[in-house]
Amino acid sequence: MPNAWLEVSQDGTVKIWCGKSEIGQGVRTALPMIVAEELSCDWRRVQVVQADLDPKYGDQLTGGSLSVRTSYDNLRKAGAAAREMLISAAAREWYVERSACRAENGSVIHLSTQKRFLYAQLVTLAAGISPPNDPPLKNPSDFKLIGKPSRRTDSFAKVTGAAKFGLDTRLPGMFIASVVRSPVYGGTPSELCSPCPRGVRSEVRPSDASIRRDLRARQPQLLLRWRGCCRRFDLGRRAGAKTSQGRME
C-alpha cells in the first residue's frame, strides 16, 4: 500500500522516504517519526529510505533549519491518510462502522471485541481504497513519538563508516569538477596550463557571453579538473588588494 512517502508491505514492514538531505541535523530520523506518529506504526519496524530526485517528493532543498518546519504538515497528512485507509479496510472486513475501530502500534483494533488486524493483513484491501483528501490528525497531547527522545536511525552506519554520502559516489568515466576563482574581485584568467598537467582530464573556460548571463560569475571560473592545477589571473587595478580594502561596485 504505497504513497509517495510511505509503503506498508505485506510482511508488516513500513518504509518511509526522507525527502531532505542528511547533513548532521537528523532528518532521517525526525521526518520518518512524523509519518510514523500519524500512521500509528511500530517504530522498530520502520525502514528509512533516502528519496531520489522524483518531483513527487516536492522541494528537496535542505538548509536554513527548514526541513521539519516545511515538511511537518505534509508528512503528518501522508501518515494519517494511510492510517485511515487501513482502518477503513478493517471495518469492511468486520462489517462495522469505522468509528468502532482504532489504529494502534501497527494494528487496527475493534474496540468492543478487541479483535485485531495487523497492518500486514490489511495491505491488499487498503490499497484499493481511495486516500482521504483531508484526513483527521492526532491531537498533539496523544503523541508518542514526536517530541520524544529517539535514537537516530543512521547513527550505527555513520560511526562504522558504512554510510554513503554524495562524495563517495564513483561512476565510470566520471569527472570531478572544481571551481577556480580569481583571488580578487574583477580578476580575469590570463594563462591556462597547456598541455594539461598530469592527472587533469580536461578544462573548460566559460565563454564571455555565459559569464555575462550569470551575474554570480563576475569572478571568472575555470571548470572540470581532477586535481589542483595552477592558474594565473590578470588582477588589474586590484593587484595587491586586501579583503579589508575591497568594496563591491
Q: Which residues neighbour 30 within 8 Å (Cβ) at sequence distance 6 or greater?
A: 67, 68
Q: Is CATH 3.30.365.10 what the domain over 6-160 is classified as, yes or no?
A: yes
Render each residue's pLDDT in the chain as its tens digit; 249 residues. Answer: 557 888 888 888 888 888 888 888 888 889 889 999 999 987 877 888 888 888 888 888 888 888 888 889 988 999 999 999 999 999 999 999 999 999 999 999 999 999 999 999 999 999 999 999 899 999 999 999 999 988 888 889 889 999 888 788 888 877 776 677 777 777 776 666 655 555 555 555 555 445 445 534 444 444 333 334 545 777 777 777 666 655 444
- Domains in the chain: boundaries: 6-160, 170-225
In 3D, which of 60, 35, 57 has the Cα closest to residue 47?
Answer: 35
pTM beyond 0.75: the answer is no
> Distance between CA 84 and CA 62 in Å, rounded?
30
Cell numbers that stand for 47 in this block: 525502514
Residue with cell 512524523: 34
Residue with cell 586590484: 238
Is residue 47 helix, strand or coil?
A: strand
